[in-house]
Amino acid sequence: MSTSDQNVSQTHPALGASAQEFLDYCNAERERRLNSGETFDQETFDQAMEMVLNKLRVLADEGWS
């Protein structure tokens, strides 16, 4: 697990199933893009991921899973 993956996991200790699945996907996609040799804006990727996780958290608080 990379340092960025560990930071994200520590930031979101209690996620619902949908959010956890999304986080797992994002972590794998981040690693794939970092290892692809292509240009990758990790900061923008992480910001977008945080926005989606925040929305999933709000939906979970409202009873959606």
- Asked whether 22 and 56 are in contact (CB, 8 A), the reply is yes
pLDDT at 5 over 70: no
Which domain covers residue 54, as residue numbers? 3-61
The chain-wide mean pLDDT, for the chain, equals 83
Q: How confident is the model at residue 50 (pLDDT cuts 50, 70, 90)?
A: very high
- Asked whether 49 and 26 are in contact (CB, 8 A), the reply is yes
- Count structural domains, the chain: 1
pLDDT at 11 over 90: no
Convert the pLDDT of each residue in 25-34 to its tens digit. Answer: 999 999 999 9
Q: How confident is the model at residue 10 (pLDDT cuts 50, 70, 90)?
A: very low
The count of C-alpha atoms lying within 13 angstroms of the C-alpha of 11, restricted to the half-sphere facing its C-beta, is 14
> Which stretches within 1-65 are classed as H helix?
3-11, 17-35, 42-61
Residue count (the chain): 65
